Chains A and B, each alone.
Chain A
């Protein structure tokens, strides 16, 4: 302990800099994944995570390509593929197979023998009815991990619904839009409504849960030698995140309603208008509120509203006070003031603030580029693409992007030869029968 140590940020960077990822091993290099989902970005994000960590992920599309390749804003296609798909095809091999044919189902079952994980998003019971669901495959493959995505799950009174899984319906079912947005009695009628997140948040949450569950099953397989069936409904994934909605209803039969940019538990934890934009600002515990009122130069507010209860009761008035102060400063000024207070330890309490970013403003910040959060990936098939990188920095087995996407069926020859010993002639015959 006597030697002078490298400062923490330098040490941490040397440990985890994603620029050095290619020198390091991949955690899931031994995991083979077959993702035959269709039109479902929860499933696609699930297999993306496994692919980022090094799993050999094979995307199986119907011969015309997955409809997910068409889910793109304004129908924008880049070299024939939609933008959302180009984000979630990373590190995946791409093959085609027609599961509507008997030959296709037979090939699927044979491929499954070589897989550790299968991911699908068919209507519950559909794969089973085709004879290639978990029930049938697991008989010969007890180590198989099989993850199925659906709107309402694989069991329970509503499981047999034919309704497919989409992000917006999953968001609706999660309960999150109910508590998001401007209150009905404020703002304008058209926009003071339950509001969805702009991104496909339920799909991303659902896919995250899928990858988590697959990894839990992989860990358990070390101990047991056995695989299992994973039932993942993205709506339930996001539901798990609904803070204290259910405990509060249980305790007091109260339903949480929309509060716009406020929070029902604490104040301030809110967005305020600044001279040039908006800023998020938080300092809600008593000591942090003291810190914030020091920064604002309004110690009287700390004295008049000393407890959380006082502050949330007068949240709207206090919000107006903070906005009156912020009107004279840019969001950067506010951040500078807060950092000056924190870094120079000018008083008690911790205050957090941030400028509300448009996406282009986030893209302009060097922090994310240094950390590999944004990357320009040179893809052999699709050219240079700006992609968001994996969110983790890891010392020993860092995740990485190796390529962005492959055209429909581009890996048919490689994969069918590698796993099933099928040569070009076999594939030609299968193509003639519309199997691949």
Chain B
């Protein structure tokens, strides 16, 4: 009758047609005054789906993340740590310590739909460019204040935060890793990225409300509170039983079995909590009788700690004799879940991820061929996209000042001379690659 499902989806989501489709957030302008990761990701996610993002930095040094790059080594004078959260943005440099700079910022806010900032609570209010002031200039403005501890409450006063502060205070580190070992950090800035996603989602919710009422609003997002939200059953169990959640390494206590296991050639995740999946796993292990053993036959039985422990040991022994690919093939055959623990090279070279645009190739006018992670969810009618890479501090000063604010070239030169607006410092991080020349 009709074409097969996967033929249909491959056309529906065809990566090569992304630029022929509209963008969900077309016409939404996001003004960003942020540094590091939490604030920039908030704006970046909106930008991936079509918002025009204007990133304001303090010249000439700009965002601190311009100096956070692996082994402190720059690439083409740019920080690799700065790129994943700064795509397709317009970069302008304004010194907000000057009155004229604040005035420019207010004018930009008057023409924007969303403002994202991540200063310590109350800083922009003190500078006269906080919500209290800006909401009068633009009542439709959606003001997103990202922070570590929120805009009010005992911990909000003057306290600095980073991703790992959120990991630390939220309890996330406390429930991660192996019992009796020193605590470890999550390998990624999870508190920042997750907080950015939560903040961007709230901005979209606020846009929906604005479409109905015309009202903007203020959003207070604390990254620590984002991670607390994500700690699944930790809190409810404490409330009902008083039991503290301890780290249990690579095994799951609620989904049994589910965990990471050492294999012959690396590590793999294996999960088979549903009874039919568990039967499949036992068959794959060559131990079909295990599935009928009353200690393991049902999920509630497997969840009992002693039974779970026995089971995890047996799965571990089995997995150690297999390669990751063998386990994955057995999972496909027998109907349980398995996946290799992959690294950057595995993902970079993965044809599936390339086809999906999850690993996204493009050519940047300044940096040449680029490969990064593309937008995460795939939208059939309004797919997300990367247009260009992060740019040096103040790269788009002229364009934004002329197009958006209607300033004359003479006025712009004036503002440059007064150091109200500015561009990059001549050092790696904020500056363009070697050999770059204007025009």
Contact = CB atoms under 8 A, between A and B. Distances in A.
Given A71-B255, A75-B300, A359 B244 contact: yes
A362 B83 contact: no
B201 A212 contact: yes
Contact of A8 (B121, B198, B337, B379): B121
Contacts of A198: 172, 175-177, 245, 247-248
A255 B343 contact: yes
5 contacts: A199-B232, A244-B69, A247-B371, A309-B71, A363-B238
Contacts of B22: 220, 224
Interface stretch (B92-100, B346-354, B418-426): B346-354
The 10 closest A-B pairs by CB, nearest first: A386-B239, A179-B187, A172-B269, A8-B122, A198-B175, A215-B204, A75-B303, A180-B187, A241-B193, A228-B381
B395 interface: no
Interface residues of A, number: 192
A37 to B, nearest CB: 14
A367 B70 CA distance: 35
A177 to B, nearest CB: 5
B299 A75 contact: yes
Interface in B1-50: 2, 5-6, 8-10, 12-13, 22, 24-28, 45, 49
B188 interface: yes
Contacts of A254: 70
Contact of A388 (B218, B228, B301): B228
Contacts of B348: 246, 249-250
B387 interface: no
B253 A392 contact: no
Interface stretch (A263-271, A416-424, A427-435): A263-271
Contacts of B158: 339, 342-343
A229 B250 CA distance: 34
Contacts of A247: 75, 80, 83-84, 370-372
Interface in A52-106: 53, 67, 70-76, 78, 82-84, 86-87
A392 B380 contact: no
Interface residues of B, number: 181
Contacts of B45: 212
B101 interface: no
A280 B164 contact: yes
B377 interface: yes
Contacts of B81: 243-244, 265
B200 interface: yes
B201 A211 contact: yes
Contacts of B164: 269, 271, 280, 282
A317 interface: no
B60 interface: no
B221 A391 contact: yes
A193 B250 contact: yes
A180 B258 CA distance: 18
A158 B352 contact: yes
Contacts of B341: 172, 175, 177-178, 194
A162 interface: yes
